[in-house]
Amino acid sequence: MTKKQIKLGVFLMGTGHHIASWRHPDAQADASENVEFFKEVAIKAEQGKLDMLFLSDGLSFNELSHPAEQVRFEPLTLLSVLSTVTKNIGLTGTASTTYNEPFHIARKFSSLDHLSRGRAAWNIVTSYYEAEASNFNQDKHLDHSLRYDRADEFVEVVKGLWDSYEDDALARNKETGEYIKKGKLHTLNHKGEYYSVRGPLNSSRPPQGRPVLVQAGSSEAGTTLAAKQADVIFTAQQTLADAQSFYKKLKDKAVAAGRNRDDIKIMPGVSVYVAETEEKARAKYEELQQLITPEIGLDFLEDYLGIDLSGYDLDGPLPKDIPPTNGNRSRQQLIIELAERENLTIRELYLKIAGSRGHRIIFGSPSQIADQLIEWVDNDAADGFNLMPPYFPGGFTDFIDLVIPELQKRGVFRTEYEGNTLRENLGLQQVPSRYALQQV
């Protein structure tokens, strides 16, 4: 029997996912705005045959929060550049449905899909940064449930616009002068609750038919959207049991939404510290922990909790009754519960989550790391992982150089790309146009 194959993405976050990574001696402190840095990482990721690169995004700069990850390239311009130094790897960019228009999003991702010949993916978010509202003419962030309601219609419009042209719509026949084939171009004429978009799109059908859709909601509304619309689902899960229950829940929801279990790939985030021995791997972690100043730690906690902690004793507990954020509520909850469960001081809390922003951290030799990854994949907890390297480039190149060969040796990871498009490499179906379907 062939073994279940692991899907792997890498979450490119400036200098790395450890919040003090930019202070690491090997880090390029300006990585988040350094194009050469990103090119090198992208090339390395493709040498490692990873499925995709992932860029998160926000539409604000929050002065209270940790600045290192906030000053950054706009994802679609950067991914366009990265498309030129790679050939097979997927290019996933984040765009918010709350502060964008569906026409622009359909267009940008179609354009990236054409430029990269079928490697574009859209991470659909509803914006978890409350501060974004004030950059878009609004007094306050739209309510969580309203954001998700709008998101669903938004995604439907985008999918509709991508279907504007059938696969063979463009004749471009020099002899006859026929440019577009009659009947192969469709006007969407969408009039819904939140959006009214006529179409057609001014970009022909994307090479993938439909760029890959990624989602990371974890609330009830979030997982419903993900189960209905997404091909890939990101999530933060700390334990095997939690990951299994999330995995089952999402697959069940997908089936309830009329899809197959295999139509969605669930990829929890994981931060890997690898070295010859587990001890040496842990030493790398300790080295980064030493670099966390109280300022960095507090910026980070305040961002997640949505409150100002400056009045509180670092060596005392979190304040009681923190009001629910209108941003990423499930992560806020996770962190408050962690502090309570383990009885942590503020300092202990930020030190604890600093390494991976609430995602799973694993340590070990290449073989120990492989064991831990395979355990989740073999036990219905994951279809793959979204790698969150503690720091770049070292914390990432270690993974490519040490862990990838180990996974390949064990027969759970590709040695060559299966195809040219991201859909092919993820093992997802090509999506036919709704109009082509009608004709069958």
Ligand X SMILES: Cc1cc2nc3c(=O)[nH]c(=O)nc-3n(C[C@H](O)[C@H](O)[C@H](O)COP(=O)(O)O)c2cc1C
| Binding piece for ligand X, criterion CB under 6 A, among 55-63, 164-172, 336-344, 362-370 | 55-63
| Binding piece for its own copies, criterion CB under 8 A, among 107-115, 221-229, 243-251, 356-364 | 107-115
Pattern 264-303, its own copies, x by CB under 8 A:
---------------------------x-x-xx-------
Using omega within 30 degrees of 0 as the cis cutoff, is the peptide bond preceding 200 cis?
yes
56 is an interface residue for ligand X by CB under 6 A: yes
Per partner kind, with CB cut-offs from 5 to 8 A, the member of ligand X, its own copies, none near residue 304 is: none
Alpha carbon distance 100, 124 (integer Å): 11
Closest CB to ligand X: residue number: 222
Question: What residues numbered 397-416 form the site for ligand X, per CB under 6 A?
Answer: none
Question: What residues numbered 364-423 form the site for its own copies, per CB under 8 A?
Answer: none
Residues 6+ apart with CB under 8 A from 328: 128, 304
Q: Is 199 left (phi over 0), alpha (psi -120 to 50) or beta?
A: left
Q: Tokens for 182?
A: 């009659």
- Phi/psi of residue 74, nearest 5 degrees: -75, 130
| Binding piece for its own copies, criterion CB under 8 A, among 45-53, 105-113, 236-244, 318-326 | 105-113
Alpha carbon distance 303, 328 (integer Å): 10
Q: Are 47 and 400 in contact (CB under 8 A)?
A: yes
97 is an interface residue for ligand X by CB under 6 A: no
Alpha helices in 275-361 (DSSP H): 278-289, 294-305, 329-341, 346-353
Return the DSSP state at 397.
H
Q: How far is the CB of 61 from its own copies (least distance, A)?
A: 4
Alpha carbon distance 271, 387 (integer Å): 6
154 is an interface residue for its own copies by CB under 8 A: no
Pattern 240-269, ligand X, x by CB under 6 A:
-----------------------------x
Q: How far is the CB of 290 from ligand X (least distance, A)?
A: 26
Question: What are residue 360's DSSP bridge partners?
Answer: 270
Q: Which of 9, 14, 48, 58 binds ligand X (CB under 6 A)?
A: 58
Amino acid code (one letter) for 241: A
Q: How many residues bind ligand X (CB under 6 A)?
A: 21
Alpha carbon distance 407, 67 (integer Å): 35
Question: What residues numbered 182-221 form the site for its own copies, per CB under 8 A?
Answer: 185, 187, 195-204
Residues making contact with ligand X (CB under 6 A): 56-58, 94, 96, 125, 127-128, 216-219, 222, 234-236, 269, 328-330, 386
